[in-house]
Amino acid sequence: MAEKCPRNGFVPVSAAAMVHAMTLQDNQVKGACGHDCPDTCGWVVTVEQGRATALVGDRDHPFTRGTLCAKVNHYLDRVYHPERVLHPLRRVGPKGSGQFERVTWDEALADIAARWQAVIAEHGAEAILPYSSAGVQGLVQQASLDMRLFGVLGASRLDRNICGAVASAGMKATLGVGTGIDPEQVSHAKLIVLWGTNTVVTNLHYWPQVKAAQKAGATLVVIDPVRTRTAEEADWHIQLLPGSDAALAMAVMHVMQRDGLVDEDYVRAHALGYDELVRKLADHSPEAMSPIIGLPAADIERFARLYATTQPSLLRPLIGIEHHINGAMQFRAVSCLPVLSGAFRHRGGGIARSTHALHYAALDMDAVERPDTWKPARTLNMRDLGKDLCDPALDPPVKALMVYGANPASTIPNQNLIERGLAREDLFTVVHDMVLTDTARFADYVLPATSQIEHLDLSPAWGHLYLALNRPAIDPPGEALCNTELFRRLAKALGREEPWLYDSDEAMIRTALASGHPWLEGITYDRLWNEGHARLSAPEDWRPFAEGNFPTPSGKAELWSETLLQMGQEPLPDVGAIRREAGLQLITGKQVPVLNSAYGHIDIHKKRAGTLFIELDPADAEARGLSEGDLVRAHNRLGEIHGLCRISQRLRPGIAWMPFGHLEDASGVRRGVNVLTDEAPTDWGGGTGYYDAFVEVELLD
């Protein structure tokens, strides 16, 4: 059972942990940011009389080095925001109206348990859909007791794939992993290719490392259809057409093979299917690929030669190339480049994507999530939430939805359809969050969640190898509960007696750290408690594929993939299916002042983000008779959204850009860019082509 705290009943931390907190010197507590971001910054919270009075970057953290981002610099505004949900709320108005009344935890929990039990009795447990994402990123708060509870109930499972899964699936087809090398090895690189990632904005603490390497003589290339702030800093910005990265990779491989620039020794020893690939590359010359990529063949030749003749060369992709319908193939094709160039042999060479899987492979995740106790159940794809909620043929239908650590009404494609589904009178929706999100406005119950400074968590990172312990600095305000405590109470309300549904957070973290994995050697709970963070014990000069050892079925880098063939996919790297439709291709990008759909309700961030705008190339604006500052509507068959017209030199003709994360449009209506995106599936990996939306833009009368 969970430990009881004499002050407020259940608390998310164990009694032992509370004692530690009280014996800390001074009034400062180390923690780590829990946002869905590669940086996972270390921070220090100052507490005075139970109130957090300062939150600053932890100078001891080797990767984030004492700085935070524009959002988290004001994290305490989020913690103490007047609109923060502090008590359980029950709906009193129509769905979507955001009208609620305060109820007690006991009332809310008893009613939720009774409603779920009724759904299970009538439709079976699969009629319950838990929907969560990485709103709080960490070992126990993100996914632990929730997985256990919904697992033993036999609720529907969620295929979580809108961020990273497609990239990982694509890379795995070639390399057997979705990770690559340690990103910090960038300091050894002589060529750095930021491929579809806006590092300055989204991966702030990696940027100084990239810049330092550039200053030390490395050439920095940015591949992006948009001239982002990151692209501005590059030695060379390759501004290709969206979705044409695989075509570029094919052309580069063509040149490498044609000109004898392939590391033949490496390829013959460690790759499978090179001869088949060579035959295919014959018709992927720069000239042949040029119309697809939208760049002159000479530029493609030049990039190919630069890549093939510079070592060590490091490719750094994040999300940009996965949010297309050929997203997995784009990652598969790009991952072939360091195999052909032999870059993996060299320190700082290869490809460096998310480090998420490196942390989670070291931790004992099965002990945390306990899949051994789960009942078999169907899996629904998060991308299809709107379709599933509105599908009369879905059997069983989704009758109960529980959303936590996510805001699908704003972040999943086809916002209008999702809202239609959430408005269903026969759907029972519970949302656990700190704020009244777009999704929460449709809930039957809104439950108050803790902020990161109010709960304990172990924080693995997806942008580096440092594991952190996030210590709670203050008591939760009002009646807020952390995710794990909520699921303990839900288990109790449902009358569950399995003891593992009540494990404490500390116990789960200790278990996860006790995996025996060599990279966790010397990393104990107590050390993390005292020091805040520790680097996974990977060798300093870690070159996982210098001598092959790819964890693919064949043990080699698979230029030819039997696995893909069995899946009905093209077994060799390929251009993939590129979506081109009438209208402007809409790319929606991350912004500095907000974190996905979060922070938009806080004045300072709202002001910085400004009024929603739609950015166009001068040629496209002129063709539509539009001027800077006009109020325009962007629309397609799914819906419309209003914004101010912005005309810039950042785009190419045919491309429009809108910022992702505004909570309302220029007409003050609560709708974001996902009213214009559909659920177009990626080739494999289960994700969606967010950046393959097509719109028309015109003056709003």
Ligand X SMILES: Nc1nc2c(c(=O)[nH]1)N[C@H]1C(S)=C(S)[C@@H](COP(=O)(O)OP(=O)(O)OC[C@H]3O[C@@H](n4cnc5c(=O)[nH]c(N)nc54)[C@H](O)[C@@H]3O)O[C@H]1N2
Residues 571-590 that bind Mo ion (CB under 5 A): none
CB of 37 to ligand X, least distance (A): 4
Q: Is the dihedral of CA 201, 204, 206, 207 positive or negative?
A: positive
How far apart (Å, rounded) are the C-alpha atoms in residues 550 and 681? 28
Q: Between residues 156 and 202, which has the closer beta carbon with respect to ligand X?
A: 202
Give residue 489's Cα distance to chain centre. Answer: 28
How far apart (Å, rounded) are the C-alpha atoms in residues 438 and 407? 7
Binding status of residue 315 toward ligand X by CB under 6 A: no
H or E element: which one contains 56?
A: strand 51-57
End-to-end CA distance of the chain: 62
Binding status of residue 448 toward ligand X by CB under 6 A: no
Q: 3-state DSSP call for residue 314?
A: strand
CB of 486 to ligand X, least distance (A): 8
Q: Max Cα separation, the chain?
A: 74
Binding status of residue 488 toward ligand X by CB under 6 A: no
Q: Between residues 280 and 323, which has the closer beta carbon with respect to Mo ion?
A: 323
Return the closest-CA partner of residue 656 out of 567, 589, 610. Answer: 589
Residues 6+ apart with CB under 8 A from 354: 38, 164, 167, 168, 178, 179, 318, 462, 463
Binding status of residue 390 toward Mo ion by CB under 5 A: no
| Cα angle 478, 142, 207; round to 5 | 105
Binding status of residue 293 toward ligand X by CB under 6 A: no
Binding status of residue 318 toward Mo ion by CB under 5 A: no
CB of 447 to ligand X, least distance (A): 8
Binding status of residue 100 toward ligand X by CB under 6 A: no
In single-letter form, the type of residue at position 29 comes to V
Residues 101-120 that bind ligand X (CB under 6 A): none
**Backbone dihedral angles phi then psi of residue 481, each to the nearest 5 degrees:** -130, 145
The total of other beta-carbon atoms located within 10 Å of residue 18's CB is 18
Q: Is the dihedral of CA 349, 352, 357, 362 positive or negative?
A: positive
H or E element: which one contains 466?
A: strand 466-470
Q: Between residues 328 and 546, which has the closer beta carbon with respect to ligand X?
A: 328
Among 274, 502, 690, 694, binds ligand X (CB under 6 A): 690
CB of 50 to ligand X, least distance (A): 20
Among 386, 408, 476, 643, binds ligand X (CB under 6 A): 408
The total of other beta-carbon atoms located within 10 Å of residue 466's CB is 23
The secondary structure of residue 354, as a DSSP letter, is -
Among 14, 141, 326, 355, binds ligand X (CB under 6 A): 141
* Residue 677 touches which of Mo ion, ligand X, none (Cβ within 5-8 Å per kind): ligand X
CB of 356 to ligand X, least distance (A): 11
Among 29, 52, 55, 163, binds ligand X (CB under 6 A): 163
Binding status of residue 321 toward Mo ion by CB under 5 A: no
Q: Between residues 258 and 302, which has the closer beta carbon with respect to ligand X?
A: 302
Retrieve residue 40's tokens.
């996972």
Return the closest-CA partner of residue 513 out of 528, 500, 526, 524. Answer: 524
> Near ligand X by CB under 6 A, which window of 194-202, 338-346, 516-524, 625-633?
194-202
CB of 164 to Mo ion, least distance (A): 7
Binding status of residue 185 toward ligand X by CB under 6 A: no
Binding status of residue 226 toward ligand X by CB under 6 A: yes
Residues 6+ apart with CB under 8 A from 393: none
Q: Between residues 195 and 613, which has the closer beta carbon with respect to ligand X?
A: 195
> Near ligand X by CB under 6 A, which window of 60-68, 106-114, 317-325, 388-396?
317-325
CB of 182 to Mo ion, least distance (A): 21
Q: Answer whether 472's CB lies under 8 Å from 455's CB.
A: yes
Binding mask 28-67 for ligand X (x = CB under 6 A): --------xx------------------------------
How far apart (Å, rounded) are the C-alpha atoms in residues 83 and 437? 11
Binding status of residue 594 toward Mo ion by CB under 5 A: no
Q: Between residues 319 and 357, which has the closer beta carbon with respect to ligand X?
A: 319
Binding mask 596-635 for ligand X (x = CB under 6 A): xxx-------------------------------------
Q: Answer whether 651's CB lies under 8 Å from 226's CB.
A: yes
Binding mask 198-217 for ligand X (x = CB under 6 A): x--xx---------------
644 CB burial (10 A radius; 0-12, 13-18, 19+): middle
Residues 539-598 that bind ligand X (CB under 6 A): 587-592, 594-598
Q: Between residues 45 and 409, which has the closer beta carbon with respect to Mo ion?
A: 409
- Tell me the number of residues near Mo ion by CB under 5 A: 1
- Tell me the number of residues near ligand X by CB under 6 A: 60
Residues 6+ apart with CB under 8 A from 250: 281, 284, 289, 333, 573, 574, 575
Residues in the chain: 701
Binding status of residue 404 toward ligand X by CB under 6 A: yes
**Backbone dihedral angles phi then psi of residue 273, each to the nearest 5 degrees:** 90, 20
Q: 3-state DSSP call for residue 222?
A: strand
Among 674, 678, 685, 689, binds ligand X (CB under 6 A): 674
Binding status of residue 641 toward ligand X by CB under 6 A: no
CA-CA distances (angstroms) from residue 200 to 81, 163, 568, 606?
28, 19, 38, 20
Q: Answer whether 557's CB lies under 8 Å from 272's CB.
A: yes
In single-letter form, the type of residue at position 124 comes to G
Torsion of the alpha carbons at 461, 467, 472 and 473, rounded to the nearest 10? -100
Among 79, 153, 163, 564, binds Mo ion (CB under 5 A): 163
**Backbone dihedral angles phi then psi of residue 85, each to the nearest 5 degrees:** -75, 120
Q: Between residues 257 and 677, which has the closer beta carbon with respect to ligand X?
A: 677
Binding mask 60-99 for ligand X (x = CB under 6 A): ----------------------------------------
CB of 443 to ligand X, least distance (A): 12
Residues 324-353 that bind ligand X (CB under 6 A): 324
Among 63, 466, 660, 694, binds ligand X (CB under 6 A): 660
CB of 555 to ligand X, least distance (A): 30
Binding status of residue 261 toward ligand X by CB under 6 A: no
How far apart (Å, rounded) are the C-alpha atoms in residues 420 and 381? 18
Retrieve residue 259's tokens.
């000109």
Among 450, 504, 561, 682, binds ligand X (CB under 6 A): 450
How far apart (Å, rounded) are the C-alpha atoms in residues 212 and 65? 15
Contacting positions for ligand X (CB under 6 A):
36-37, 133-136, 141, 162-163, 195-198, 201-202, 223-226, 228, 242-243, 245, 318-321, 324, 404-408, 411, 432-435, 437, 449-450, 483, 587-592, 594-598, 660-661, 673-674, 677, 690-691
Residues that bind Mo ion (CB under 5 A): 163
